[in-house]
Amino acid sequence: MARTRQQKELIALAALVLIAASIWYFHLGRAATPNSGISANNYSPINAQDYIVIINGLAKAQGTEYKSAGRNIFVMGAMPVEAAKLGPPKKVFVVYNLPQPPAPPPPAQLPMVFFGYGMLPAGGPRQAFLKEEPGEAIYIVSEGDVVLNHIRILHIGNDRIDFEDTVTGQRGSKNLEAAPAA
């Protein structure tokens, strides 16, 4: 007679329940008996130490200061004989010659002569007149203009002109040069 799947599962479940009940009865059921040997008559206090002595010794150890006897504590072995005779090593201060940082670049230079300024039309932006020193070329520039491909004019004042080198980011100024007396 062939059993169905449900019947096989019920037989397996019944076998597992029987095994679990026998384990509980033989192992767990016996440990829960009321007279298992624990009572107030068998009590004995633990052997605890007096920790005040230990705490005082710890406080004394924390207050100590390390003083070298000349031996390198990170090297295994005895101290060399010569070092033992000389005593603790002397403190030596070593001065390292580090490379010096590079000198800051010189301030920005404007290789032109600032010889005047004007406003055209009246009330308009101020313009400066610059003349190349070796040549005769004259430049008329406003604030914000770039001269010689790397010098930006920042401010045109009554007696000087302020500029910035766009390559190095350094600023400089040039005073108004009066024309020579005739």
Domain range annotation of the chain: 112-175
Report the 3 state secondary structure along the chain.
Answer: CCCCHHHHHHHHHHHHHHHHHHHHHHHHHHHCCCCCCCCHHHCCCCCCCCHHHHHHHHHHHHCCCCCCCCCCCCCCCCCCHHHHHHCCCCCCCCCCCCCCCCCCCCCCCCCEEEEEEEECCCCCCEEEEEEECCCCCEEEEECCCEECCCEEEEEECCCEEEEEECCCCCEEEEECCCCCCC
pLDDT tens for 133-145 read: 777 788 889 999 9
pLDDT band for position 105 (cuts 50, 70, 90): confident
pLDDT band for position 80 (cuts 50, 70, 90): low
Query: Which of 27-36, 146-155, 171-180 has the weakest average pLDDT?
Result: 27-36
- Give the pLDDT mean for 80-96: 69
- Give the pLDDT mean for 126-151: 87
CATH of 112-175, one of 2.30.29, 2.30.30, 3.20.14, 2.40.30: 2.30.30
What pLDDT score does 57 carry? 87
